[in-house]
Structure 1
Amino acid sequence: MEIAKNVRDFLVGMKETLSPEEDQLLSSLQTLHEKYLNIMEDFSVEVSEKALSMSPESRMEAHQLRLKIYQDWRARLMERVFDNSKEIASAEDAKSHVPECDCCCCELTRRLDSYEIVTADYIQAADRFNINRQWEHLQAKYVGTGHADTTKFEWAVNQHRDTLASHLGHSDMMAYFAVAENESMGRVRYNMLEKILQPCGPPPQKEEE
């Protein structure tokens, strides 16, 4: 979804002509609009980085969230710029703002803060979902191997540690699960699982008594 980088272009078509107050106010809102663009860009980058490990439903929810934020930001700009621009333009000239100030700049800034919180919460929720989903996948496929008995917390810690130890050449978890399902690959899968759950290698063999 392409978003206009100039706040004037963002609201194009909403009104044929602008009053001097509206024109002045739009000029002062470009910095806030650029912050909105940065929030959306950061969110899109994070979603793209996690796309391979996200379910189709999660990717669709991310797209819907972007669309809802886009619509909300556009509506807020229209409301504040076109509905009462004379009053707001005078408030913009104030040198100081009290807490809970309802001027255009302060209200839109608070709105941007809420967008940052919502997108950050979504990414965290997606991470928790992926950890739970992959752990359940592990439990279902490797019952009886000993590794399936690890707790969810232990598995998450090991998964994170494996990511940090990528220099050891461990395969990506999702690529590992994509290995063909057949008996000839069973031992390869089991050995790779040991590396994933124990990045530093399997524990030393105990000497037989």
Structure 2
Amino acid sequence: MEIAKNVRDFLVGMKETLSPEEDQLLSSLQTLHEKYLNIMEDFSVEVSEKALSMSPESRMEAHQLRLKIYQDWRARLMERVFDNSKEIASAEDAKSHVPECDCCCCELTRRLDSYEIVTADYIQAADRFNINRQWEHLQAKYVGTGHADTTKFEWSVNQHRDTLASHLGHSDMMAYFAVAENESMGRVRYNMLEKILQPCGPPPQKEEE
């Protein structure tokens, strides 16, 4: 979804002619519009990075969230710019205002803060959903191998060890563990690999001669 980078272009077509006050207010709000663009860009990048691990439903929800924020931001700009164009001075000097100030610039700034919170919460929720889905898949696939009875914390540790093992050359051993014939064999291999993959720690200090 392409979003106009200039706040004037963003609101194009809403009004044929702008009063001098409205034109000046739009100029003062360009910085806020650029912050909105940055929030949306960061959100899109995070969603793209997690796209392969997200469900189709989650990706659709991310698109809908972007659309809702876009519509809300446009509506807020129209409401504040065209209905409150006499607030130019307050918009230009919003930094000196108290938190409860309801001028155009302050209200839009608070709106941007809420967008940041909503998008961050969505990314965290998507991560939690993904972890739960992977855990359920692991339980269903590896029942009786020693995986299914582990806690979510143990499973996350196992995932970390899998990554570490691939760097240390133990990937074949980890794969063998994953297809253990029964729970007891799986647990034995789990304990064995736990010892193998323990950090070695710093080298022993040499005694001073």
Pair in the same fold by TM > 0.5: yes
In structure 2, relative to structure 1, the CA distance for the partners of 1:168 and 1:40 (3 Å cut) is farther
Q: Shift in Å at residue 152 of structure 1?
A: 1.3
Note the residue ranges of structure 2 that are not aligned, 5 or more in a row.
none
Contact 1:170–1:195 (Cα < 8 Å) also in 2: no
Q: Deviations over 1:96-129 (max 9, x none)?
A: 2122111111111100000000000000000000
Percent same amino acid among aligned pairs? Answer: 100
Report the equivalent of 1:68: 68
Structure 1 residue ranges (4+ consecutive) displaced by more than 4 angstroms after TM superposition: 88-91, 160-209
Q: What value does the CA root-mean-square deviation take over the aligned residues?
A: 7.3
Count of residue pairs brought into register by the alignment = 209
Distance 2:196 2:69 in 1: 38
Q: Shift in Å at residue 65 of structure 1?
A: 0.2
In structure 2, relative to structure 1, the CA distance for the partners of 1:190 and 1:153 (3 Å cut) is closer
In structure 2, relative to structure 1, the CA distance for the partners of 1:74 and 1:152 (3 Å cut) is same
Query: Which has the higher Rg, Structure 1 or Structure 2?
Result: 2
Contact 2:91–2:105 (Cα < 8 Å) also in 1: no
Contact 2:145–2:179 (Cα < 8 Å) also in 1: no
Distance 1:44 1:51 in 2: 10
In structure 2, relative to structure 1, the CA distance for the partners of 1:28 and 1:190 (3 Å cut) is same
Distance 2:146 2:40 in 1: 43
In structure 2, relative to structure 1, the CA distance for the partners of 1:59 and 1:178 (3 Å cut) is farther
Structure 2 length as normaliser, TM-score?
0.77
Distance 2:118 2:93 in 1: 31
Q: Shift in Å at residue 159 of structure 1?
A: 2.7
In structure 2, relative to structure 1, the CA distance for the partners of 1:177 and 1:41 (3 Å cut) is farther
Q: Deviations over 1:43-92 (max 9, x none)?
A: 00000011011111000000000000000000000001001211454564
Q: Shift in Å at residue 148 of structure 1?
A: 1.8
